[in-house]
Amino acid sequence: MDNERIRTICMAFPHVAETVNWGHHLVYWAGDRDLGGKMFAMTDLDGTGTGVLWFHAGAERFHELLEVEGIIPAP
């Protein structure tokens, strides 16, 4: 999955904002970041990172997801 497909999916949710943070990460927020929005996904725009998509999965699903080949914890 590439960044454009991820962007299409994330921006389809209601009340989503996006920002570029830390130089090369496109961050998706549920609500406005400056008004207490919550980050829910992040992609590496320049391809230098370890993954295509980082997202919060919750404590319940974290270990379950790590059992899937190709999924690693965010650095």
H/E/C letters for each residue in the chain? CCHHHHHHHHHCCCCEEEEEECCCEEEEEECCHHHCCEEEEEEECCCCCCCCEEECCCHHHHHHHHCCCCCCCCC
Give the Cα separation of 6 and 27 in Å (integer): 11
According to the model, what pLDDT value does residue 32 have?
79
Give the Cα separation of 10 and 63 in Å (integer): 23
What pTM, to 2 d.p., does this model score? 0.69
According to the model, what pLDDT value does residue 8 have?
92
CATH T-level assignment (fold) for domain 3-66: Aspartate Aminotransferase, domain 1 (3.90.1150)
What are the tens digits of pLDDT across the range 24-55?
888 899 987 777 888 888 888 876 665 567 77
| CA 50 to mean position of chain CA atoms | 13
